[in-house]
A and B are shown apart, each in its own frame.
Chain A
Amino acid sequence: GAGVSQTPSNKVTEKGKYVELRCDPISGHTALYWYRQSLGQGPEFLIYFQGTGAADDSGLPNDRFFAVRPEGSVSTLKIQRTERGDSAVYLCASSSSGTSTDTQYFGPGTRLTVL
């Protein structure tokens, strides 16, 4: 079956621009996570959705970052006024129920480059 997909795979933008990154989780998965992986680092937790609601957004670095999941399936990570330090691979993961021992299935990521 289809895994987690993320679009675009690569995004190049200029400093100050707005970007949207999309995640399509595995069908039926209620839990969805966003992570950011900077060069040479491991994935860093950003936000966790259970259904349509953001159950934990404590990892979002500042108010330029926002994520939505309006119908409990597809999620969009939105970054306003991008900065060069936002350059990273943004990973999305989903799990079946959000029980924290559920396996998280990761997408291939979106590589964001801010010039």
Chain B
Amino acid sequence: DQQVKQNSPSLSVQEGRISILNCDYTNSMFDYFLWYKKYPAEGPTFLISISSIKDKNEDGRFTVFLNKSAKHLSLHIVPSQPGDSAVYFCAARVKRNQFYFGTGTSLTVIP
């Protein structure tokens, strides 16, 4: 049973525009959410996180929004750059150290 879902396997965006990556979850016990970025042949790299007590967290070009009532998480990248092209995973924590990952969205930023 997939508790964290990323329904868009891929996304293409023009350089300079906004990229919006979406994630939905089913478990209301999740209390911490993260986004990871992954390049081919490398492990995932932490990007940004948000606690369930917040609805927004910003770090430079990256902003994560959390809508708990809708069980929905999104990552906004603005402006998008070609170097942002990668696979993005959202993840959610339940219990102390159990993390559930989505299936990933492949972002391509077109120069």
Contact = CB atoms under 8 A, between A and B. Distances in A.
Nearest to A55: B97
Given A40-B103, A41-B103, A101-B49, A108 B98 contact: no
Contacts of A45: 98-100
A107 B43 contact: yes
Interface SS majority for chain A? loop
Interface SS majority for chain B? strand
B43 A42 contact: no
B98 A43 contact: no
Task: Please tell me the size bucket of the interface on A.
Answer: 20 to 34
A44 B101 contact: yes
B46 A108 contact: no
Contacts of A80: none
Nearest to A93: B43
A98 B41 CA distance: 26
B43 A4 contact: yes
Given A42-B91, A109-B43, 10 more contacts: A42-B102, A43-B44, A55-B97, A56-B96, A56-B97, A98-B97, A101-B51, A105-B46, A106-B44, A107-B43
